[in-house]
Structure 1
Amino acid sequence: MQVAYTPAEIASIVGAQRTAGHATHAVTDIAALTAARAGDLSFLGNTKYKAQVATSAATVILLPLDYAGEPRADQVFLFVENPSVALARLCARIEQSLWPKPIPGIHPSAVIDPTAVVDPTAHIGPLCVIEAGARIGPGTVLQASVFIGQGASLGADCFLLPGAMVAAACTLGRRVRLQPGAVVGSDGFGYEFVNGRHEKVPQIGIVAIGDDVEIGANATLDRARFSRTVVGEGTKIDNLVQIAHNVIIGRHCILCAQVGISGSTTLEDYCVMGGQAGAAGHLTFGKGSKVGAQAGVTTDLAPGSYVLGNPAIPVMLERRIAILSQRLPDLFKRVDRLEQPVRPE
């Protein structure tokens, strides 16, 4: 990093409720507890690493309020409600210092249709394309090679990284962030088998993204066959996720890398899907449902469900089956021994 903060400045940024110790070093980097040296900041985000705090050489350590221990010489402990959240707030300040928001303006190489409306406070980077009737909201940033289709609309303070695409008529709310290569509004995968051929079904709906949504690199959200594919406020979508046509995703959901959701499935608010999990089409996941990594869901989920496996079943049942399956070789040996006395000569 090319920044430096005093322990007092860090305490102010993270909202430390109390401090202990004194240090002369400024903090110029962040490291794990065991790797940290003088001038580094570290944190205790997982209690299983608690023993490492006493031997850490970090200048500043973010600790939970209930941690009992004293800092070493030239070391400061900052006590906060949640060390991981506190670190995130510090990193946000560092991010602003390292990569300040681009100044408003339009790069000469950008191609913008005369009927598009670009707010004067927006930043349009090199080689961007904005088609007819599109609208770019105040404070929004399009980095290099972003494509905005005909009639698309982006709200205030969105941030689109290089190569992101928002297709025709699709909409982004406020403060939406698209990572490189994210695609909003590709055609849904729809075909009818007619006279021995796969005939394409036109996809004439849109994708509507709510406020404060983040979409990872190379994730794809298909436009609806008709009406809308929807992503609710505050939902976070990881890299390489596939959202099919007419999927409805509620507010504050989490979809981890390589999740795939088939068409017309609905996720209610606060659902979580682990990496590589998949959902069949036309299902409903109730509010707060959790789907473990690599699970395959083929039935509706009641609110608060937690499932795992393929096909997905309740997590405790899946774990019992997993344990019992390890005993199958011994069980077959026992069956073979039991059969020996009764086999005919």
Structure 2
Amino acid sequence: MTSYTIQEINNLLKGELIGNTTQPIEGPEQLQNAKKQHITFIGSHKYVKYWADSKASAVLVNDNLTVVPDENRAVIKVKNADLAMAKVLELFNPPAPAFESDIHPTAVIHETATIGEGCKIGANCYVGKNVSLGKGVILYPNVCVFDETTIGDHTIVWSGTVIRERCIIGNHCIFHTNVSIGADGFGYRPSDDGRGLVKIPQIGNVIIGHHVEIGANSCVDRAKFSSTIIGDGCKIDNLVQIAHNSVMGCSCIMAGHSGLAGSVTLGDGVIIGGSASIKDHTTIHSGATVGAGSGVMNDVPAGQTVLGYPAQDSREMLKQWVAMRRLTKK
């Protein structure tokens, strides 16, 4: 079993070690669930009180918090305990599933496909006509990549993911289980006789930048024409919907169950909270934040935080909630 001394961990983190422990650290754990072989972390004042009763032998703490070491228990002060814990998690991260062969014999690969150096393709994968895979791409079992799609270097695609035709995927992306990239956008109009619906053809594609991560069971629909675009560094949670012709800037975050309707535009660094929904043809400018469960009906200025349904400036919405609460108490 992998273990490290507290000195080895502190050398990695370059923090301030207070106290000491001779206990080998065998992994990280939550503060209240930790055992003596664990290191834990405290990033907020409200959790400091739990340190005394925790069985952890070491703790990472923000340097603005007062946490006192105990007998054979150490404290490492760092600027940001969350980021420090991320480094510790990397130390104990188990290896990814192994491939017995680089390309499994049950994989179906079209003769026109280009497979880069060091690619690994698992059992029952399908790689279509004129697909191009860059260096070191990993397709885990049961992945489908359809015709004329390009995937950049060192992108990882987990099982069950389907990447439809003509998509363009960047380098170092991660698509988790059952992601859908490039399915038809949702486009229908009433028929002339008013007795049915006419499907609008969706002939565009999806373009995804570099270092994008998309969570399990999320969908990015292809455009009606032109492209649905996800910028470099975006991070998308599980069960997220991104509709046709939406455009996301760089380093946006979308939490679980949130969704963009058609032709939504996000600037750089936009944060969308869980279960928030964004109306079609809406623009959310760079640095804005949409609170969880909110419904955005209008454009959001750069840097603004909005809450509620319909979403409004967070300060105004909080005032309304306080006023409503006072009314109910009368």
1:115 aligns with 112
1:125 aligns with 122
Cα deviation, 1:217-273, whole Å, max 9, x if unaligned, reads 110000001111001111111111111100001111110111111111100001111
Q: Quick check: 1:46 aligned with 2:44?
A: yes
The alpha carbon displacement at 1:103 in A equals 7.4
Cα deviation, 1:286-334, whole Å, max 9, x if unaligned, reads 1111111111111111111211111111112211212222233455xxx
Q: Structure 2: give runs of 5+ residues left out of the alignment.
A: none
CA distance in 1, matches of 2:325, 2:63: 42
191-200 or 97-106, larger mean C-alpha shift? 97-106
1:5 aligns with 4
Give the alignment partner of residue 83 of structure 1, picking from 75, 81, 84.
81
2:55 aligns with 57
C-alpha contact 2:28 2:89 (8 A) present in aligned 1: no
- SS, match of residue 327 in structure 1: helix
Distance 1:207 1:62, change over 3 A: same
Matches within 5 A, 1:152-163: 152-163=149-160
What residue identity is the alignment partner of 1:307? V
Q: Quick check: 1:305 aligned with 2:304?
A: yes
CA distance in 2, matches of 1:141, 1:42: 33
Cα deviation, 1:192-235, whole Å, max 9, x if unaligned, reads 22223211111111111111111011100000011110011111
What residue identity is the alignment partner of 1:319? L
C-alpha contact 1:172 1:209 (8 A) present in aligned 2: yes
CA distance in 1, matches of 2:71, 2:326: 54
2:241 aligns with 242
- SS, match of residue 199 in structure 1: strand
Distance 1:86 1:330, change over 3 A: closer
Distance 1:143 1:209, change over 3 A: same
CA distance in 2, matches of 1:128, 1:100: 16
What residue identity is the alignment partner of 1:16? K
1:270 aligns with 269
Q: Quick check: 1:184 aligned with 2:181?
A: yes
- SS, match of residue 70 in structure 2: coil
What residue identity is the alignment partner of 1:249? M
Give the alignment partner of residue 131 of structure 2, picking from 108, 111, 134.
134
RMSD of the alignment, in Å?
A: 1.7
Matches within 5 A, 1:7-46: 7-13=6-12, 15-46=13-44
The alpha carbon displacement at 1:87 in A equals 0.9
223-232 or 18-27, larger mean C-alpha shift? 18-27
CA distance in 2, matches of 1:298, 1:194: 27
Q: Structure 1: give runs of 5+ residues left out of the alignment.
A: 332-345
C-alpha contact 1:183 1:221 (8 A) present in aligned 2: yes
Matches within 5 A, 1:194-209: 194-195=191-192, 196=194, 197-209=196-208
CA distance in 2, matches of 1:101, 1:246: 37
Cα deviation, 1:15-72, whole Å, max 9, x if unaligned, reads 2222122222211232222332211110112221122234432122112234444421
CA distance in 1, matches of 2:6, 2:329: 59
Give the alignment partner of residue 165 of structure 1, picking from 162, 166, 174.
162
What residue identity is the alignment partner of 1:241? V
What residue identity is the alignment partner of 1:278? S
- SS, match of residue 166 in structure 2: coil
Structure with greater Cα Rg: 1
1:336 aligns with none
1:283 aligns with 282
CA distance in 2, matches of 1:244, 1:68: 47
| Percent identity of paired positions between Structure 1 and Structure 2 | 34
CA distance in 2, matches of 1:136, 1:102: 17
TM-score of the pair, normalised by structure 2: 0.94
Matches within 5 A, 1:67-106: 67-95=65-93, 97-99=94-96, 102=99, 105-106=102-103
Give the alignment partner of residue 145 of structure 2, picking from 123, 143, 148.
148
The alpha carbon displacement at 1:100 in A equals 6.4
- SS, match of residue 316 in structure 1: helix
The alpha carbon displacement at 1:120 in A equals 2.8
- SS, match of residue 184 in structure 1: strand
